[in-house]
Amino acid sequence: MQRLAALATAIALSLLTLQPALAGCDPTGFRVLPASTASTVKITIRTFGGQPAFGTGVIWDSDGHIVTNDHVATVGDQHTVTLASGERRAARVVARSPDQDLAVLSVDGPLPPAAPRASAATLQPGDAVLAIGNPFGQGTTLSTGIVNGFGREVITAPNRHMMGMVETTVPLRPGNSGGPLLSCRGEVVGINTAAVQTAPGGSTLGFAIPMEIADAAVARMLGADTAVAAAPDFGSRFPAESGTLQRGSARPGLGLYVVPGGAALVVQQVVPGSPAARAGALPGDAIIEANGRMVSSPEDLQSMIRDASVGAIAVLRILRSGVALDMAVRITPVVFSP
């Protein structure tokens, strides 16, 4: 309790220095920030090379689940979380969504309550936001900035294009990944994931996964039948992402492997017996729209399926030998065999 009290005092003092940037916030929101910090954990990972790496996580529920970035969880094979009280616990990875750069850790024993969560849609450009993190493993820090915009695309790995990100001026550092992006009301509105420097020596932009996307992804992951649930791979990447699929694994999808082809997606392979095969899709078909939305990258198709659900119908507009066709394909768990 003394450590928590000291932490709350430190946060209150930090907020005094942040108040100019948070001038537009409702001051009552400051009162819940200590609770938000208590629901944030520091993560230390033993990398495969034996060196330590650092990240941040968000206590998610009362069942011992902690959400962080997938690139944090997969950098090594041994995970330790440090609570705001200073208590250290071993953690294990129980679910992953690589395409959305999210992972779920689990620890034994009770955890502090989860912080309140809210959709990033409650924010507007110019709103003040805060990030809690563990930069360089040096301890909990608070950083502040404002919202620049929404719906940003960020390349966080050679084969990982993150869509729909929240862009902020929060200066994220290594070790901040997986931590909460907070509104000035103390609500978690995103998961901090990436930082981009605008120019050598220039300012840094922070990017966060909106909470509505993270909420839906975690619900899917924890509802999966397998102990470690990889992201639903929608068959939308070939061959770059085929290595992420486990042979014979079933994932919600259409049963297509596609590659970008100008303003369309070109079908490279149709999974035998899949919904796309039953609908008549053929290699060489060019998909130009999905459910009325233009698609020109695998992520566009992935986003469309993510917004739908298993059993829903995806209407694909394709070009075949110069003729436009509409094809109805039911989203179904598909067995991929890369």
Same domain, 247 and 160: no
- CATH number where 257 lies: 2.30.42.10
Asked whether residue 30 carries a pLDDT value surpassing 50, the answer given is no
Residue 166: per-residue pLDDT: 92
Residue 129 falls within a domain, yes or no? yes
Clarify whether residues 240 and 330 are in a common domain.
yes
User: How confident is residue 162, by pLDDT bands cut at 50, 70 and 90?
Assistant: confident
Q: Are residues 205 and 154 in the same domain?
A: yes
pLDDT tier at 50, thresholds 50, 70, 90: confident
Residues 6+ apart with CB under 8 A from 16: none
- Four-CA torsion 240, 245, 246, 250, nearest 10 degrees: -150
Sign of the Cα torsion 105, 109, 112, 118 reads positive
Are 203 and 265 found together in one domain?
no
- pLDDT band at 338; cut points 50, 70, 90: very low
Token pair belonging to 81: 């979380």
For residue 34, name the pLDDT band (cuts at 50, 70, 90): low
As a whole number of angstroms, the distance between CA 56 and CA 71 comes to 11
Encoding tokens for residue 37? 């910090």
pLDDT of 287: 87
How sure is the predictor about 314, in pLDDT bands with cuts at 50, 70 and 90?
confident
Answer whether residue 132 is part of any domain.
yes
Average pLDDT of every residue of the chain = 76
Question: What confidence score (pLDDT) does residue 16 get?
Answer: 36
pLDDT in tens, 181-232: 999 888 999 999 988 876 666 678 899 999 988 888 888 888 743 333 333 3
Predicted confidence at residue 226, as pLDDT, reads 30
In whole angstroms, give the CA distance from residue 102 to residue 215.
10
40's enclosing H/E stretch is strand 40-47
Domain assignment present for residue 191? The answer is yes
Q: Is residue 185 part of a domain?
A: yes
* Separation of alpha carbons 95 and 204, rounded Å: 30
Q: Which of these three, 221, 246, 278, is where a domain ends?
A: 221
Q: Do 174 and 197 fall into the same domain? A: yes
Q: What's the confidence (pLDDT) of residue 202?
A: 64
| Structural domain includes residue 43 | yes
Per-residue pLDDT for 3 more than 80? no
DSSP, res 17 = H
DSSP 280-320: T--TT-EEEEETTEE--SHHHHHHHHHHS-TTPEEEEEEEE
Tell me which of 221, 247, 272 is where a domain ends: 221
Question: pLDDT at residue 46 above 60?
Answer: yes
User: Do residue 102 and residue 15 come from a single domain?
Assistant: yes
Q: At residue 13, does pLDDT exceed 70?
A: no
Q: What is the pLDDT of residue 333?
A: 62
Q: What is the pLDDT of residue 209?
A: 93
Q: What is the pLDDT of residues 148-158, one digit of tens each?
A: 998 887 776 65
Round to whole Å and give the CA distance between 183 and 128.
7
Tracing tokens 């608070």 back to the chain, one arrives at 142
Structural domain span for residue 83: 2-114+216-221
Mind listing the pLDDT tens digit for each residue in 126-138? 999 999 998 888 7
Distances (CA, A) of 315 to 101, 245, 327, 330: 27, 25, 6, 9
Contact criterion met (CB below 8 Å) for 176 and 131: yes
What pLDDT does residue 231 have?
Answer: 32
| One domain for residues 85 and 137 | no
Q: Tell me, yes or no, whether 82 and 166 share the same domain.
A: no
What is the CA 271 to chain-centroid distance, rounded?
28
Could you tell me if residue 184 is inside a domain?
A: yes
Smallest Cα–Cα separation from 182: which of 37, 10, 3? 37
Are residues 162 and 82 located together in one domain of the fold? no
d(CA 261, CA 253): 20
- Flag whether 227 is in a domain: no
Q: For residues 266 and 193, state if they share a domain.
A: no
- Closest Cα partner for 67 from 179, 208, 227? 179
Task: Count how many domains the chain has.
Answer: 3
The CATH number of the domain holding residue 46 is 2.40.10.10
* Statement: residue 260 has pLDDT above 90: no
pLDDT tens figures, 103-146: 999 999 999 999 889 988 889 999 999 999 988 887 788 888 99
Do both 319 and 252 map to the same domain?
yes
* Same domain? 104 vs 150: no
Question: Do the domain assignments include residue 168?
Answer: yes
Note the pLDDT tens digit of each residue in 271-310: 777 788 889 988 888 888 888 888 877 777 777 777 776 7
